[in-house]
Amino acid sequence: MIRYFLLTLSIGISGCVIAQTEEQKKEIERQYYESLNKFDPNREISSLHSKIASLNNNKYGTVYVYDDAIGCYKGGKWGTGKAGWWVSAKDKKFRELTEAEFKHLQWIYEGENANTYDVLLDDGVTRSRQYYGSGFSFTGSYKSQELSESNLVLDGTWTFSVNRKEHIKFLFEKGKLISRTILEDDIAVYKFDNGNVQGTGPCYWTISHLRESSNGLWYIPAGEFVFPEGFNRTGHWKHYYESGSLKSEGGYNYKNNKPIGQWTGYFENGKIKDVKTWNDEGKLHGPFKTYYTDGSLLTLGNYANGDWFGPTKTYYSSGELKYESNWLADGTGTRKHYLYEWDQLSYTEEGKANKAGKKTGIWTRKSLDGNLLATMEYDDDQRIRYIDSYDLNGSNTLKNGTGIYKHFLNKQLIFSCEYDNGQRNGKAVWYYPNGQLQREVVYKHNLSTIGKADIGLRWEVISCYAENGTKLNAGTLKNGNGTWNDYDKTGKLTGVTTYVNGIKESYTKVE
């Protein structure tokens, strides 16, 4: 990488270097050896620049740069950018380059923090090129007797180093990329505004102006300077909540900066949230599990290229089965929904689901013994209309959206309602599982939602009872305006909903 050393030369009034005496040259050598003993490789380049300026009290002086690749020190007047004295790494003697030596070391670009040069090797054909700047270098070779000013097609081994450590090694064959090996990773750290770590893990630097042509040849455009452009995450990473607790951990693919392999997500309470697997393209692929906040299993299944695929099971937080699904390659599927009422399994629904897992199209409702109870239509999990309904005897009580819909729990009627054109319109009655009347209300057509929702307008409350038969205050709803009171089965008030023109306006929970 790059080391900077400061030596002081005598400067004439014109700013040119005055011929030096033998004593002055010995003093230069003494300062050189002293600088070797004091050199700190971890020192920031910007700090070193400031030190140079402060020691000289001006922008002049001589900066010596050690280059590991060619084994020599380059000297130049600070602030002028002109090459001056050189010292051999072998004999550690200061001298000026001869004309022949200078031909072997051709500087393409020379700046304060970035440099590029070519070295013609002993075979007279192979040229070694190095791009280097503050804390990094990119070195390799290509075949050319003359300094290349056209697009540089890469050949052989090229190495990108960061902070004096080899970071990535590329192997090219006449421009074709044969392999890319990450030799040593850096560690990146992201932080929240409060200073807590947001994410941390190994990374590798991406390199600017390293291009691949349409015919698959890798090159560096003429006149461009190669430098670190950014970095891609690689290896095992950890992400955190702002509170400091672990949020997720897993691997990243350095090629595209996307997740790869198995990842584990966590709730803020430390419980596992999900375990998922990602493929080389950064898409979910393979087995997965998701969990509730208490650690109980939520979903178990597989992904294929980002979509659910094959059998999947979803559970209620109590542990009972909620969905059995089978997903196709296009991400859609079929699902069987297990529904509970009054703390017991009541019926199932079956039909198609979209990629988000939501009900869509025509679904059927069946009793636990497999008898058809109803058919209905869904759109993105919203039931938009009932089509047909059947009682326990198999009689079709609701046809094509019009008639009486009846709903049973263990052969006990618990709900009946008048429907017209797929939407509630008329009297609706609920019952407790013991047969006790629970509530009587009246619905009215909502013309704006016919074909979009099956509920209709809540128009009037008639009566309300507890499970033991005690009459309760049903609310004030009439002609679409007023309140609707909700109770638990013991008769305790749990909430009050306010309606305006039959549409819900607000809800107040009662503790």
pLDDT tens, residue by residue, 386-397: 999 999 999 999
Higher pLDDT, 410 or 1: 410
What pLDDT score was predicted for residue 57? 33
What pLDDT score was predicted for residue 101? 44
Q: Is it the case that residue 102 has pLDDT exceeding 90?
A: no
Higher pLDDT, 142 or 53: 142
Domain assignment of residue 151, yes or no? yes
The answer on 146 and 32 residing in a single domain is no
Q: Is it the case that residue 14 has pLDDT exceeding 60?
A: no
SS3 of residue 120 by DSSP = strand
Higher pLDDT, 122 or 445: 445
The answer on 130 and 93 residing in a single domain is no
CA 234-237-238 angle, to 5 degrees, is 165
CA gap 464, 472 in Å, rounded = 5
Question: Which residues make Cβ contacts (< 8 Å) with residue 318, sequence separation at least 6?
Answer: none
Across the range 343-364, mean pLDDT stands at 94
Q: Is it the case that residue 3 has pLDDT exceeding 50?
A: no
pLDDT grade, residue 239 (50/70/90)?
A: very high
pLDDT grade, residue 87 (50/70/90)?
A: very low
Assign 3-state DSSP to the chain and report helix, strand, coil percentages, each to 5.
Answer: 5, 55, 35
The answer on 202 and 109 residing in a single domain is yes
Domain assignment of residue 442, yes or no? no
SS3 of residue 49 by DSSP = helix
What pLDDT score was predicted for residue 22? 59
What pLDDT score was predicted for residue 123? 67
Q: Is it the case that residue 133 has pLDDT exceeding 80?
A: no
What pLDDT score was predicted for residue 58? 31
Residue 196 one-letter amino acid: N
Domain assignment of residue 195, yes or no? yes
The DSSP code for 215 is T
| Residue 367, Cβ density class (10 Å: 0-12 exposed, 13-18 middle, ≥19 buried) | middle
What pLDDT score was predicted for residue 326? 96
Sheet holding 503-509, edge to edge: 482-487, 493-500, 503-509
Higher pLDDT, 41 or 343: 343
Query: φ and ψ at 50, to 5 degrees?
Result: -65, -40
The DSSP code for 370 is S
0.75 surpassed by pTM: no
What pLDDT score was predicted for residue 95? 42
The answer on 148 and 221 residing in a single domain is yes
CA gap 511, 442 in Å, rounded = 28
Q: Is it the case that residue 51 has pLDDT exceeding 80?
A: no
Mean pLDDT, all residues of the chain: 77
Domain assignment of residue 166, yes or no? yes
Alpha-carbon distances, residue 289 vs 140, 262, 272 (angstroms): 47, 11, 10
Farthest CA pair distance, the chain: 119
pLDDT grade, residue 74 (50/70/90)?
A: very low
Alpha-carbon distances, residue 280 vs 177, 182, 199 (angstroms): 19, 17, 21
Question: Which residues make Cβ contacts (< 8 Å) with residue 100, sequence separation at least 6?
Answer: none
Q: Is it the case that residue 163 has pLDDT exceeding 90?
A: no
Domain assignment of residue 322, yes or no? no
The answer on 108 and 55 residing in a single domain is no
Q: Is it the case that residue 503 has pLDDT exceeding 70?
A: yes
Across the range 463-482, mean pLDDT stands at 96
Element (H, E) at 26: helix 22-38
The answer on 56 and 109 residing in a single domain is no
Final residue in a domain of this structure, among 55, 71, 97:
97
Of 424, 345, 340, 408, residue with least CA distance to 374: 408
Across the range 289-316, mean pLDDT stands at 95
Domain assignment of residue 504, yes or no? no
Domain assignment of residue 510, yes or no? no
pLDDT grade, residue 159 (50/70/90)?
A: confident
The answer on 221 and 192 residing in a single domain is yes
The answer on 142 and 80 residing in a single domain is no
What pLDDT score was predicted for residue 21? 55
Final residue in a domain of this structure, among 233, 255, 277:
233
The answer on 68 and 131 residing in a single domain is no
The answer on 130 and 68 residing in a single domain is no
Half-sphere exposure of 163 (CA within 13 A, CB side): 9
CA gap 395, 448 in Å, rounded = 31
What pLDDT score was predicted for residue 44? 32
Q: Tell me how crowded residue 233 is: count the other CB atoms within 10 A of its CB.
A: 21
CA gap 7, 145 in Å, rounded = 35
The answer on 184 and 92 residing in a single domain is no
The answer on 42 and 4 residing in a single domain is yes
The DSSP code for 481 is B
Final residue in a domain of this structure, among 207, 233, 259:
233
Domain, as residue range, for 68: 1-97
Lowest mean pLDDT among 48-62, 171-185, 204-218, 245-259: 48-62
Lowest mean pLDDT among 133-142, 277-286, 405-414, 497-506: 133-142
What pLDDT score was predicted for residue 302? 95
Lowest mean pLDDT among 25-34, 140-149, 306-315, 399-408: 25-34
Alpha-carbon distances, residue 162 vs 107, 132, 165, 182, 375 (angstroms): 22, 10, 5, 12, 66
Q: Which residue has the tokens 């697997």?
A: 277
Strand spans (E) along 316-422:
321-327, 333-341, 344-353, 359-366, 372-379, 382-390, 396-399, 402-409, 412-420
How many domains, the chain? Answer: 2
Lowest mean pLDDT among 113-117, 194-198, 422-426: 113-117
CA gap 333, 301 in Å, rounded = 13
Domain assignment of residue 424, yes or no? no
Higher pLDDT, 48 or 242: 242
Cβ atoms of 210 and 225 within 8 Å: the answer is: no
Q: Which residue has the tokens 């290896």?
A: 235
